[in-house]
Amino acid sequence: MALLSASCGKKQMDSLYDRQEGFIEAITTNLTNDNPDATVEQKDGIVKITVAHGDGAALGENGSLAFYYAGYYLSSSRLDNSNLFVTNYEELANSARWAISDTTSFEIMTLRLDESDIVEGLKKGLPGVKGGDECYILFNGKHGYGKKKIAKVPSNAALAWHLWIKSVSD
């Protein structure tokens, strides 16, 4: 009986991840149609779409970066403010009509990739970004928060991160 239950659970998760991959594919198509100069990289189940290209050195696996971000959980094939769960980009927070009294939350984030405890999909998608890039990193729930529900993010949710990279250093 336990084997049957585990098998059904695996089938349900595979079905969920397949549906999420469809969302990611549709979002990728929309972003590349809207941004003719966009580039798409896919590796290990993570999709990075760069819609504005910076210059300079690319972020290595042990480098650091400073950036603004917006995190979305995916429940359809569109990105919109209803699924925005976190941002440090004040203009976006205002357009989403977030009422935030702590303006320090809009400070640029700086992190060292090899020392940061960030979600797996983001950690794997960041290498290669350059200062001045604007990109999206998308991945299914397998590379996200897993079974944990985080604030308004459902468990096993696919995630999309919109990033504005200000600087990179190794």
77-125, pLDDT tens digit by residue?
999 999 999 999 999 999 988 877 677 788 999 999 888 889 999 999 9
Domains of the chain are: 2-169 (3.10.50.40)
Print burial letters for 134-157: b (CB count within 10 Å at least 16), e (below 16): bbbbbbbbbbbbeeeebeebeebb
Whether pLDDT at 1 is above 60: no
**How far, in Å, CA of 64 to CA of 52, rounded?**
20
CA-based nearest residue to 159, from 132, 127, 126, 119: 119
pLDDT tens-digit map of 6-44? 455 788 988 999 999 999 999 999 999 999 999 999 999
**How far, in Å, CA of 117 to CA of 38, rounded?**
29
Supply the pTM of this predicted model: 0.91
Asked whether the beta carbons of 65 and 126 are under 8 A apart, the reply is yes
Cα torsion 21, 90, 87, 81: sign: negative
What pLDDT is stored for residue 5 in this prediction? Answer: 46
Q: Which two tokens stand for residue 114?
A: 């090899």
How wide is the angle at C-alpha 90 spanned by C-alphas 54 and 128, nearest 5°?
25
Q: Dihedral angle at the C-alpha atoms of 128, 73, 95, 27, nearest 10 degrees?
A: 60
DSSP class of residue 104 equals G
Asked whether the beta carbons of 86 and 170 are under 8 A apart, the reply is no
What pLDDT is stored for residue 104 in this prediction? Answer: 75
| Beta-sheet pairing, 64-74 with 84-87 | antiparallel
Q: Which two tokens stand for residue 46?
A: 């993570």
CB atoms closer than 10 angstroms to residue 54 = 18
